[in-house]
Amino acid sequence: MSPSLNVFWKELLSFFRDRRAVLNQIVLPVVLMPLFMFGPTYLVERLSTQAATEAHRVAVRNMPLGLKEELARVGLLAIPDPDPEAAVREGRADAGIVFFEGRVTVYLALAQGGMKAEVLKGRIEHALGRYKSSLVEARLLEAGLDPRVLEPFQLEFVDVSPPEAREAGFFGFLVPMMLLMFILTGAMPVVSDATAGEKERGTLEVLLAVPAPTGAILLGKAGAAMVAAVLSTASGVGGLVLGGWLLQTRSAALPDGGAETFSFRLGAEALFASLVTGVLFAAFAVGVMIFLGMLAKTYREAQTYMGFLYMVLVLPAVLLGMASSFLEPNPLLYLIPVAGPMMLLDGVLRAKASLLAYVLAWGSTLFYAAAALFLAALAFKREEVVFRN
Amino acid sequence: MIQVRGLKKRYGRTQVLSGLDFEVRPGEVFALLGPNGAGKTTTLRALLGLIRAEAQALSIAGLDPRRSPLEVRKRVGYVTGGMGLYERLTGREHLIFFGRFYDLAAEALEARIAELDRDFDLGEALFRPVLAMSSGMRQKILVARAFLHRPEVLLLDEPTAALDVFARRALLDRVEAEKRAGRAVLYSTHVLPEAEELADRVGFLYRGRLIFVGPLEEAKRRYGARTLEHAFIQAVREVEAGVA
C-alpha cells in the first residue's frame, strides 16, 4: 500500500469511528434537511387549510342583496350590524363590512390576527370579488352588452426553459449554496483533526518521522478530507431531494397542485457536472483548510480559523446566490474563486452553462486548488509551523 | 553508528544548538542529558531530518539525514515523550498503519506483530482503541511501534515522561536488552537517575552546548560527584561561573 493510501485509510478509519462527526456530517443532513423543508411548509399548510374552512362571523351594515350568499359560499356568516367596526373591536365579529354610497370598507384586526386574519381577508376579498363580478355582469346584460366585452383577450404564460431547468425546480437555486456549505462543513472536522489535532496529540511528529515523503502524507490527508466533504454533500443533497419529494407528494394532493414547484431532479449531465465542480471546489477548500489547520496549535484553534473561513466564503456565496439571475453574464466572473463554481453550478441547473463557463470555472478552480494544496504542502514542510506548540 | 560533528541550529535570533560533537557506537547507550529547553529534542529532530540544521558531519548508520532523510528513517526507531497515538485506532491498527511505511508485506507484518506481542506482552492492547487503553498499554504500543521494523538505531526522546512505575521499568529493561543486542541507543532525558542506570556514556547539554561528553564514571570523577545528577549540577555551575 502506498504511503498516501495508508494515510488516507487511517484518516477515514478515524473519521468513521468518530460517532459524533459521522452523525453531524453524514446522518443529520439527510434527516434534518427534509424536516426543515417539509416541517414548516406542512405546518403552515395545515393551519392555512384550517383557517380557510373555519366559520367566521362577519358584521355587515347596509348589506346588499346577494352578498350574504357569496359570503356563505366561503364559509362566512353575515350578520347585520349597525356598527361593524365596533363589532370587530369588541370581539362580537371577526370582520366587519360597511356599504355606504358606493364604497365598501372592510374592518379586520390585521396586525393582531397575523396569518389567520390574512386568510380571512382573502376569503372576504374572494366573496366581494364574486359579488362585484355578478353585479357587473347583470348591469352589462341590462345595457344589452355581452359580459365578455370586459375580457378582450385571455392571458397565458408559458415557461420555455429547457426541461432540465424546469426539473431543477424551486430548490435548484439553493443547490449551489448548499453544495458549498456542505463541502466546507464536511471537510472541517477531518482537516482539523488531521492537522492541528495531530499536532496537539503529538502524533504529527511521529508520522513525519516515518520513511514517507511529506507530500504523500499530505495527499492522503487531503484525499480523506475530500471524501468526507463529498459524503457530507451527498447526504445534504440527498436530504434536499428527499425533502423536495415529500413536499411534491404533499402538494400534489392539494387542489391547486404545485407539485412541480417542489420537484428536484438532476439529469445525468448535470449530475456529472455538479460532481466534477464539487470535487474541484472540495480540493480547493481542503487545501486552504489544511494550510489554516497547520497554522493552528490546537484543534480548537483550528476550528476557529475554519469558522472564519466559512463565514468569509459563505457570505459572498449567499449574496451571489440571491443576485445570480440579475447578473450580466460576464466570463471574468467565472475566474473568481468560490463565485466561479457557484455560478457554473447555477448555470448547469438552469441548463444555460456555456462551454466557456465550464472551461473558465473548472480551469480556474483547478488552478486555485493546486495553489491551495501547494500552500498546504509548504506549511507541512515548514518546521516553524510543524513544531510550533 | 551515530556521528555528530559541529551540529548547529538557529531559530531566528536564538542559537538553539551551538556546534555539538558526539557519537553513539553500536551496543552503546548514549544519554543526552539536559533540562527542558536545552536542545535535546532539536538534536533528535535534526538526526531524523525533520528539521534543517548545519553540521560538519551528521550521519546515522552511514547516511546523512540532510541528504537521505527517508533512508535514515528506515533504520531508526523513534519514541517521543508524548503519547503520540491515534485515539480511535487499536494497538494492532497502529502497528499495521506504521508497518506499511516500512514496506512490510501483509504476512510479514502479521508475523512481526505476533513476535512483538510475545516480546512486549501486548495482549489486550492490540485490540483496544487507544481511548480505552491504560497508560501502560499505550506505552507498550508506542515502544512496539518503534521496534516494528527492527531498527539499527534507537532515538528515545524522554520516553518515560508519561509512564507509570511498571511501564517505566519495562521500558528501561527493554533498552538494556536492545543494547545487548548491539543496537545504538541515543537516550534523551532530564531524569538523570535513569541515565545513570542505562548509559555507557553521557553528554551534558546546557543552553545548546555540550558541556561534557564522556563515560558515565568519568563524569562523576571529573566533577567530584557521588551521582550523575550531582555531576550535572556541578558542570552547569562551572559553566555559569565561567560565564559570569
Using CB atoms, pick whichever of A13, A201, A213 lies closest to residue B84: A201
Beta-bridged to residue B212, according to DSSP, are B204
Distances (CA, A) of B40 to A354, B43, B80, B210: 61, 5, 12, 10
State the cell numbers at A389: 506548540
What is the least distance, in Å, from the CA of A21 to any CA of chain B? 13
- Both A198 and A99 in one domain: the answer is no
Tell me if residue B214 falls in helix, strand or coil.
strand
Q: Which residues of A touch B74 (CB under 8 A)?
A: 211
Last residue of a domain, one of A95, A116, A150: A150
Q: Which residues of A touch B97 (CB under 8 A)?
A: 6, 9-10
Tell me what pLDDT residue B9 has: 92
What is the least distance, in Å, from the CA of B174 to any CA of chain A? 20
The total of structural domains in chain A comes to 2
- Both A174 and A225 in one domain: the answer is yes
H helices present in chain A, as ranges: 3-17, 19-22, 28-53, 67-73, 84-89, 110-142, 163-168, 175-192, 198-201, 203-208, 214-252, 268-295, 299-323, 339-349, 355-381, 383-386
Tell me what pLDDT residue B244 has: 42
- Both A237 and A345 in one domain: the answer is yes
What is the least distance, in Å, from the CA of A226 to any CA of chain B? 20
Q: DSSP labels for A97-165?
A: EEEETTEEEEEE-HHHHHHHHHHHHHHHHHHHHHHHHHHHHHHHHHTT--GGGG-SS-------S-HHH
Query: In the A/B pair of chains, how many CB contacts fall below 8 A?
Result: 71
Phi, then psi, of B79 in degrees rounded to 5: -125, 125
Distance of CA A187 to the CA centre of its chain: 20
Q: Is residue A239 part of a domain?
A: yes
Tell me what pLDDT residue B75 has: 94
- Both A108 and A248 in one domain: the answer is no
Strand B2-11, strand B14-24: pairing: antiparallel
- Both A64 and A191 in one domain: the answer is no
Q: Which residues of A touch B88 (CB under 8 A)?
A: 13-14, 17-18
Length of chain B: 244
Tell me what pLDDT residue A216 has: 94
Q: Which of B199, B236, B172 lies closest to B34 in space, CA to CA?
A: B236
What is the least distance, in Å, from the CA of A8 to any CA of chain B? 11
- Both A269 and A131 in one domain: the answer is no
- Both A129 and A267 in one domain: the answer is no
A343 near A320, Cβ under 8 Å? yes
Q: Is residue A157 part of a domain?
A: no
Which residues of A, range 156-215, sit inside 8 Å of B by Cβ? 201-203, 205-206, 208-213
Q: Is residue A326 part of a domain?
A: yes
- Both A192 and A332 in one domain: the answer is yes
Neighbours of B100 (CB within 10 A): 22
Q: Which residues of A touch B157 (CB under 8 A)?
A: none
Q: Is residue A269 part of a domain?
A: yes
Using CB atoms, pick whichever of B97, B102, B145 lies closest to residue A10: B97
Q: Is residue A380 part of a domain?
A: yes
Contact A210 B45 (CB under 8 A): no
CATH number for region B2-83+153-243? 3.40.50.300
Block mean pLDDT (10 aa), chain B, length 244: 92 88 94 90 93 92 92 92 85 94 90 89 91 85 89 90 77 88 92 90 93 92 90 90 64
What is the least distance, in Å, from the CA of A219 to any CA of chain B? 15
Beta-bridged to residue B54, according to DSSP, are B8
A267 near A162, Cβ under 8 Å? no
Ramachandran assignment for B49, one of left (phi > 0), alpha (psi -120 to 50 degrees), beta (any other)? left
- Both A325 and A374 in one domain: the answer is yes
Tell me what pLDDT residue A389 has: 59
What is the least distance, in Å, from the CA of A196 to any CA of chain B? 13
Beta-bridged to residue B78, according to DSSP, are B155
Q: Is residue A156 part of a domain?
A: no
Contact A211 B74 (CB under 8 A): yes
What range does the domain containing A97 cover?
53-150
| Model pLDDT for residues A17-42, shown as the tens digit of each residue | 998 888 988 888 888 877 877 777 77
* Regions in chain A scoring below 70 on pLDDT: 164-173, 250-266, 321, 324-325, 327-329, 388-389
Contact B101 A18 (CB under 8 A): no
Provide the strand spans (E) within B61-137: 76-79
Could you tell me the CATH number of the domain that includes residue A106?
3.40.190
Tell me what pLDDT residue A362 has: 94
Last residue of a domain, one of A95, A121, A150: A150
- Both A170 and A271 in one domain: the answer is yes
Neighbours of B15 (CB within 10 A): 15
- Both A274 and A364 in one domain: the answer is yes
- A384 at the B interface (CB within 8 A)? yes
State the maximum Cα–Cα separation within chain A, in Å, rounded to a whole number: 100
Using CB atoms, pick whichever of A3, A209, A384 lies closest to residue B48: A209
B36 near B55, Cβ under 8 Å? no
Q: Is residue A207 part of a domain?
A: yes
- A9 at the B interface (CB within 8 A)? yes
Using CB atoms, pick whichever of A203, A211, A383 lies closest to residue B70: A211
Last residue of a domain, one of A150, A180, A197: A150
Q: Directed axis angle between helix A3-17 and helix A214-252, to 10°? A: 40
Q: Which residues of B touch A3 (CB under 8 A)?
A: 100-101
Beta-bridged to residue B188, according to DSSP, are B32, B157
Phi, then psi, of A128 in degrees rounded to 5: -65, -35
Contact B84 A9 (CB under 8 A): no
- Both A117 and A244 in one domain: the answer is no
Please enumerate in sequence order all residues whose Cβ is within 8 A of that of A264, keeping only pairs 6 or more positions apart, or say none.
Answer: A167, A168, A169, A170, A171, A172, A175, A240, A241, A244, A245
Contact B97 A212 (CB under 8 A): no
Ramachandran assignment for B207, one of left (phi > 0), alpha (psi -120 to 50 degrees), beta (any other)? left
Contact A211 B73 (CB under 8 A): yes
Using CB atoms, pick whichever of A17, A202, A384 lies closest to residue B83: A202
Q: Which residues of B touch A387 (CB under 8 A)?
A: 45, 50-51
Distance, in Å, from the CA atom of A196 to the CA atom of A193, rounded to the nearest integer, reads 6
Contact B50 A383 (CB under 8 A): yes
Please tell me the pTM assigned to this model.
0.80
Distance, in Å, from the CA atom of B56 to the CA atom of B135, rounded to the nearest integer, reads 40
What is the least distance, in Å, from the CA of A193 to any CA of chain B? 10
